[in-house]
Chain A
Amino acid sequence: MLGDDVLFQTVSELAPQIRARKLSPVALTESCLARAAKYGPMLNAFARMTADLAMEQAHAAEKEIASGRYRGPLHGIPYGAKDLLATAGIGTEWGAAPCRGQVFDRDATVVRKLREAGAVLIGKCAMVEFAGCLGYRFPDASSSGPGRNPWNRDRWTGGSSSGSGAAVAAGLVPFAIGTETWGSILCPSAFCGITGLRPTYGRVSRAGGMVGSWTFDKIGPLARSAADCRLILQAIAGVDPEDPTSANEPVSLGSRGRPLRQIRAAMIPLDFEKTKMAEPEVKAAFTAAVSELSNAGLHVEIAKLPDFPASEMAGLIITAEALSTFEKFFRDGSVAQLKDRYAQHQPEINRAVGGPDLVKAWRMRRALQEKMAAFFDDYDVIVTPNFMSVAPPIDRDLYDTLPYADPAGGVGNACGLPAIALPCGFGAHHMPAGFQIMAAPWDEALLLDLGEVYQKRTTFHRERPPLAA
């Protein structure tokens, strides 16, 4: 079996070795499967393993590479896919008890693209039930149990891509695919100390993925570095006739090569001192990260996001869309099987919302888009903390442990903006802290450039959790 020194390498490091046939995809896959079997259950990282498929794909990759056909940097690389992405003939249960036994007969477009790139699917990553789109109060709102953080198993991974975060952080896979409606890629990335990329809405086809919220859902990578996120996004991005919301934008994700001095960053400070549960250690880590980027040459100015009730508007639209998409589970009563005890009451809780309110929210969303378009006339990127505290304990009410607002998340997800989550140190209890950089639509390449610059100057993305069996 391969050791930690190999299993914690980035895709960018593994790929050349595979290409040169110095590293066997079969050996790498066997080692990932063994590590996942050892640590996966104690982290609740996987909803199910796909060992047979993985070995089949690994042998195929090895044979193909030996014959001189190298498909690219993901060829022979193991990965995990969030259990809301359909995989032909393999269970896809959306983290939810009412979907137990659910199997689709086709792969999601993302899974197909990764298969075509030669990647090896070793398992379906656990997740919060229905990706949290009906709300949840406790980390255990998942049919797989609570996502346990590799840095401290008594603390949460973040959600809803809980298994994707845990699996990458624990070295069970070099990368995983997650999704974000609001926070579900950035949150586990921050809490688990890994790098995650939320692409622009429409950048990645969602065909074959569970719909939580039609106009908010995005699919993206969780990985060990910004450079890896670039490779993965390159493989999964692009227009897809099966997803009418996928955009026909050019997929040019190579480095922009812009000198940092020419890039204008808006630093959005958050009030750690006056915010309940905000931690000074996380603020210090964020401040240091901004200094690092400034020292690298980035032009950073303190700025404010437009004054706009983005969170209220986004919350209303997501809830309305979720109540509609999961209508079947309310109608047949199976929503009561969800772990979150309030999910079944959401229609009653939201009864006061009327049709005109939803249309108003849609009009407000357009107004916010216009304000943000103007904002990005003045700035290229936004730099702001990701979460203001580290991963909370697994058994605590999330309303108590994460009570603060997420203004950047509200604006970013409502406007479909891309963002990258980068680890920037440690907070209380030696748990990872992270920050985010957000850009205008379709500017992922710039985010990845900045992420790479930052990670060339720091080693936080190289830290490994102290896992013990």
Chain B
Amino acid sequence: MQPKYILNDNTHVVETVRRSDDITIEVDGHALDARIHWRDAHQCELTINGVAREVYAAQDDSKIFLHLDGKTFQLDVVDEFGDADEAGAGSGRIKAPMPGVMIESYVNEGDQVEEGQALLLIESMKLQTEIKASLAGVVSKIGFAAGASFDKGAVLADVSAPDDEG
């Protein structure tokens, strides 16, 4: 997986390549040693190549807001879990950001789910991650059975919002 962020209209690839006490990060292919210590949900000390900074962070969907060095920055996450791109904003469709394997499905088709409820456990690139519902509704599709592998961009699940009553 290659997380990408848009800063000042340019897209950058930021990747974790190694993690022990320190994390090795590649920013646009340039390796950095990072250490992060979270003080609370929004504040952390971030040390990059030995230089420590106080950082404040908050996220609203695909926007990340940061405050460091006395300035505020806004970045857009290039959303590879993209549910907004093709199916349109407000869609509950979940696509695979990368090839992987379905480990477990917590819900069945037809189940009513809440926004943020964990739906699936997948594994990609040796990482397991829970996939959560982006909106409340009914699970209309589970794309793969446990153990099945999927390709990048495959539909892992679909959650349909209740019919508009307006």
| A, B from the same assembly | no
Interface positions of A (Cβ within 8 A of B): none
